[in-house]
Amino acid sequence: MSRTAVVTGGASGIGAATVRALASEGYRVVVADLNADAARALADELGGEVRSVGMDVTDEASVATVFESVTADVVVHCAGVSVPGAITELELSGWRTTVDVCLTGTFLVLKHAGRHLSDGGGIVCIASLNGRQPGTGMAAYCAAKAGVLMLVEVAAMELAERGIRVNAISPGLVDTPLVAGVAFVPGLREEYLENTPLGRSGRAEEIADLAVFLASDKATWMTGAAIDLNGGAHLRRYPDVLGKVRALAQGG
Ligand code: NAD
């Protein structure tokens, strides 16, 4: 019998690539996204066993409803946002939005997926290189993603008694709508790639392939792991995002 997967943030970028990869592996897939129209469009395009649902990962009732109504075996949790800004300038609302979606959203998904996922299921959370590598101007995102990595470890211990595995992927720069702003900051992409041994950004499909592996029966002994998937960028240093944004603002 085919397995059922829920992909949060499944309407765009890494999530959408994961939906496609899971569908091609024969999963029934639920595309769960705040952008219900985009989720529906992807489900309509793929047809077959792919359907969509509106979900806000910051809203407990919304998350609970999805996991109560779908008997899922696999969850790939991709929903995320980033509000940038120096700590001394970042509005509290920007901090809260980032932490709400990235960290509290992960807690709510782990809580309700953890209650309802079938025994032996798999949860994959998309964290970030910034969960372990600090970036100037990215305090909220870095702090939230570091929290995600720790949440994944705690969840892996707590859910192991039901055979549910919980793992994280920490991508580096992947070309998706989330990072479209990078192109507008002169030198930022170049400095990032200089610090990436394999010398290129990632493709959403490359993250999706690992997510499918981690969710599958080929990874049945893996839990509580965080896998760097970034062309080796974790081996060097993160670019000075804030310095480059300030230079741009000063016309430099
Ligand atoms: P994306 O912007 O293309 O997709 C994010 C999706 O999340 C969107 O469809 C959006 O509607 C959805 N979303 C936002 N807020 C939501 C909410 N409250 N509830 C439900 N859905 C919500 O971004 P992406 O690059 O595909 O990012 C996917 C994940 O990968 C994120 O967690 C992001 O932090 C992480 N990540 C991305 C990169 C990168 O370079 N693109 C690098 C490291 C980590």
Please compute, for residue 34, the number of CA atoms within 13 A of its CA located in the half-sphere on the CB side: 11
Task: Please give the full DSSP string across 114-133, using - where no structure is assigned.
Answer: HHHSPTT-EEEEE--GGGTS
Looking at residue 94, what DSSP letter applies? H
Annotated catalytic residue within 27, 141, 192, 238: 141
> Which of 7, 8, 14, 77 is the pocket-test mutation for ligand 1 (most atoms within 8 Å of CB)?
14
Q: Look at ligand 1, atom 6, and give the residue with the nearest C-alpha.
A: 9
Q: Tokens representing 176? A: 């998706």
- CA dihedral 97→102→105→110, nearest 10 degrees, is -170
pLDDT at 140: 98
Q: Residue 71 Cα, ligand 1 centroid: separation in angstroms?
A: 24
Long-range CB pairs of 202-206 (<8 Å, 24+ gap) are 202/171, 202/172, 202/173, 202/174, 202/175, 202/229, 202/230, 202/231, 203/17, 203/174, 203/175, 204/13, 204/14, 204/16, 204/17, 204/18, 204/174, 204/175, 204/176, 205/17, 205/20, 205/21, 206/174
Share above pLDDT 90 across residues of the chain, in percent, rounded to a whole number: 98
Closest by CA position to 41, among listed 27, 52, 30? 52
Task: Please give the full DSSP string across 28-57, using - where no structure is assigned.
Answer: EEEEEES-HHHHHHHHHHH-TTEEEEE--T
Rounded mean pLDDT, 33-50:
98
For the CA of 202, the nearest atom of ligand 1? 40
pLDDT at 129: 98
pLDDT at 252: 64
> Which of 31, 62, 81, 112 is the pocket-test mutation for ligand 1 (most atoms within 8 Å of CB)?
81
- Tell me: the pLDDT tens digits for 177-212? 999 999 999 999 999 999 999 999 999 999 999 999
The residue assigned the tokens 């782990």 is 110
The residue assigned the tokens 């200089």 is 194
1, pLDDT greater than 90: no
pLDDT at 112: 98
User: Active site includes 192?
Assistant: no
Looking at residue 12, what DSSP letter applies? S
Class of domain 4-175+204-228: alpha beta
Q: Look at ligand 1, atom 4, and give the residue with the nearest C-alpha.
A: 12
Q: Residue 10 Cα, ligand 1 centroid: separation in angstroms?
A: 8
Q: Residue 79 Cα, ligand 1 centroid: separation in angstroms?
A: 4
- Tell me: the pLDDT tens digits for 132-183? 999 999 999 999 999 999 999 999 999 999 999 999 999 999 999 999 999 9
The pLDDT confidence band at residue 251, using thresholds 50, 70 and 90, is confident
Domain edges within the chain? 4-175+204-228
Looking at residue 225, what DSSP letter applies? -
Residue 30 to residue 53: CA distance in whole angstroms: 7
